[in-house]
Structure 1
Amino acid sequence: MLNSLQTKLGQSVKSKKLNVFGLFFLLAFLILVITKLSDTYVETIPFKIQYKNLPDKNIITLDSIPSVNVTVSTHGFKLLSYYFQNKNYQLDFEKNTFIKDNNYVWIADQGIYDIKQHLGNNVDVISVKPDTLIFPFGTLSVKKVPIILKSEINFALGYDTLNGFEITPDSVNIIGAQKEIDTINYVETKPFNLENVKTNINSNLGLEFSNSSDKLKLSESSIHIIAQVEKFTEGTFDVPISILNLPNTIELNYFPKQIKVSYYVSLNNYKDVKPTDFIIECDYSDVLKSGQSFFKPKLIVNSTQVKSARMKQNKVEYIIK
């Protein structure tokens, strides 16, 4: 038991000695760091250029954003702080550039004051490389193009929309350099997919423009889409055939005398559709030109309430008496 007590006392003394040693080691290390950070160093700091006060009508046509390397002299604490700061330099196009041959020109000597302001006090700027930056620019143009609805919409059985889909606005202005917008003829919406639709559609939808240059802008970012969805049914009528451009000197017999027409209409408007809303015409001058021995009938629908219609027969035989 006495041996065990002696062992524990020895371990305790050693542990305290280690703790004291660790504390002094940490203090020595901190003093060393503070001493080193108090010294003056020369370092080169890269800054990415950000555009400021660029006229709205102009656009920089560089493929990548340039940067400048600023060599500074300052104490270590200041340099350490730059590792946690946003390394961007806002280039003021109104104050620090001039125009030459459709280029904005920035000279370090003119912008060094802003760089010093950005770096703060107790910092000496030794050099800025490159000392000149060239920014080619183009004048923005505007082109109006249609918006194409990119959709896959499947209606429930017996349902449809009479007037289709209405999108607002139906066109958009593309703003950018002339040579870039010349290649764009339309803008698509983001995919709009619906299944088993039975109710009216009323939704906002974004525009798909991510594959285009990031230098181009759209006057609109989204569109509004609406559609009135109704229950639909099919109806049929026997419609008589009219012969056009038949000379008075010619008498002919044709058959059939009428053709069955099926049409698709909303259930609410079914009773409003009449046989007189449909006309079937056969043009004698067409068979003279083609030399065919039969007519190709044409269906004319005079009702906006009919979504679609088709004839059950597409040939009319005739003989000249």
Structure 2
Amino acid sequence: MLSKLRSILTKSIKNKKLNVFGLFFLLAFLILVLSKLSKSYTETLTVGVSFVNLQEDKVLIIDDRPKLKIIVNTYGFNLLGAYFQDNTIAIDLKDDVYISKDSYVWIANRALPNIEKQFSKSFKIESIQPDTLNIPFGTLSVKKVPVKLNSSVTYASGYDTLKGMVLEPDSIKVIGSNTEIKAINHVETSELNLINIKEDISTTIGLKLPDEGHTIKLSQEKITVTAEVQKFTEGTLEIPVVITNLPSDTQINYFPKTIKVSYEVSLNHYKSIKPTDFKIECDYSEIKTSNKSYFTPKLKKVPENVKRIKLKQDKIEYIITE
């Protein structure tokens, strides 16, 4: 069947009379189309509407985007192209409207220069219907809340970060109705998963919209997350114990007099850590009020560039000698 059809088509193409007729028919059709498209027409275009320059503290209260019927005069070529384009115009909520109570009022005549800019110069706008739009809006509340990092980060053996993850910014504005944002105390990031990290971290991560309401929006959609990752090692030092608030008429003997302190520090700062960078105190007032037979040592001073500090002793025994 297919071979017979192919044979008929081949014979038809080889037939010169058919070729000449087809050529003239095609030329006549093209001339007709060109003559039609070169004429001027007045047609109605139905266009959708988008809104720009909406104030940060406002939200539009509309169910459906309005549509406009714009009567234009232009050549057929332009109309043909318009049917294949995205027929949407932007309404500027700063320059094209005025405010009446709780609505933006858009008037076609006032917005005409802006609409003409969105059409080609070959289009002449005859009229726009409707000539007025009332666009109701609500006023939003603004609340600044911290950003909470949602992360799962593991470091390669011996590596860590001293100051942890740094968020920039660490807080953002939540914008919505007062009832919707009242219960929001933070905004979470998208999940950040990093494994076996050995190098500094620098990445951009998105923020998740709260589930509390439909009008809620955020002052920004992304934040940056950075961390300085270094090679760490463990250090140990003997730190003397200091007794504070000891009455002048009381003498005690306590032991041990020093406590070993372990800590983790980057290799870059390992040699700079000294015993004087730490301070361990026991408060005599504590045992006077609690009648304990021992002191509880507390770290009162630590260097900024160490982490995971541990006291090897959690009790200091004592006796009153006088």
For the aligned pair, the TM-score class normalised by the smaller chain equals: 0.5 to 0.7
CA distance in structure 2 between the partners assigned to 1:250 and 1:115 by the alignment: 91
Percent of aligned positions with the same letter in both sequences? 41
Residue identity opposite 1:70 in structure 2: K
Q: What one-letter code is carried by the residue in structure 1 that aligns with 2:293?
A: S
Q: Distance in 1 between matches of 2:275 and 2:112?
A: 84
Deviation at 1:157, TM superposition (A): 1.7
Deviation at 1:194, TM superposition (A): 2.5
Note the C-alpha offset of 1:297.
Answer: 1.4
SS in 1 for 2:248: coil
Which whole-Å deviations, capped at 9, do the CAs of 1:53-108 have from their partners, x for residues lacking one? x475664432555213639799xx89876652323233344665332113212356
- Give the 5 Å matches for 1:219-230: 221-223=222-224, 225-227=226-228, 229-230=229-230
Partner SS, residue 193 of structure 1? strand
Alignment of 1:198-213 (within 5 A): 198-199=198-199, 201-203=200-202, 205-211=203-209
In structure 2, what is the Cα distance between the partners aligned to 1:155 and 1:187?
26
Say if 2:244 is the partner of 1:261. no
User: What's the C-alpha RMSD, in Å, of the aligned pairs?
Assistant: 4.9
Q: Does 1:159 align with 2:159?
A: yes
CA offsets 1:38-63 (integer angstroms, 9 cap, x no match): xxxxx9975322225x4756644325
8 A Cα contact 2:57 2:141, kept in partner: no
Partner amino acid, structure 2, of 1:198: K
* SS of equivalent residue, structure 1 residue 270: helix
- Separation in 1, partners of 2:256, 2:190: 50
Amino acid at match of 1:234: E
Give the letter for the 1:174 counterpart: K
- Check whether the contact 1:140–1:175 (CA below 8 A) recurs between aligned residues: no
Q: Distance in 1 between matches of 2:185 and 2:135?
A: 29
Contact 2:172 2:218 in 1 (8 A): no
Q: Hey, what's the Cα distance between the residues in 2 that align with 1:302 and 1:247?
A: 27
Q: Quote the Cα distance in structure 2 between the aligned partners of 1:196 and 1:116.
A: 58
Quickly say closer, same or farther: Cα 1:173–1:141, change in 2 above 3 A. Answer: farther
1:70 is matched with 69
Length, aligned pairs only: 304
Distance 1:277 1:182, change over 3 A: same
Q: Per the alignment, do residues 239 and 184 of structure 1 end up closer, same or farther by CA in structure 2, a change over 3 Å counting?
A: same
Question: Can you list the C-alpha shifts for 1:153-208, whole angstroms capped at 9, x where unaligned?
Answer: 222222223343445x4446538567477665555554433222233x052x2242
Distance in 2, matches of 1:315 and 1:178, equals 55
| 2: CA distance, partners of 1:235 / 1:46 | 75
Q: Take 1:287 and 1:141, find their aligned partners in 2: how far apart are those partners?
A: 52
- 8 Å contact from structure 1 (residues 138, 177) kept in 2: no
Q: How does 1:16-55 map to 2 (within 5 A)?
A: 47-52=47-52, 54=53
Helix, strand or coil at the partner of 2:286: helix
Residue identity in the other structure for 1:153: V
Q: Distance in 1 between matches of 2:86 and 2:255?
A: 85
Structure 2 residue matching 1:288: 3-state secondary structure: helix
- Provide closer, same or farther for how the CA distance between residues 260 and 245 of structure 1 changes in structure 2, counting only shifts above 3 A: same
Aligned residue for 2:242, secondary structure, equals: strand
Quote the offset at 1:244 in angstroms: 1.8
Please tell me whether the aligned partners of residues 190 and 206 of structure 1 are also in contact (alpha carbons under 8 angstroms): no
Once residues 267 and 288 of structure 1 are traced to their aligned partners in structure 2, the CA distance between those partners, rounded to angstroms, is: 43
| Structure (1 or 2) with the larger CA radius of gyration | 1
Q: Residues 181, 61 of structure 1: CA spacing in aligned structure 2 closer, same or farther, 3 A cutoff? A: farther
**Equivalent residue of 1:247, what SS?**
coil
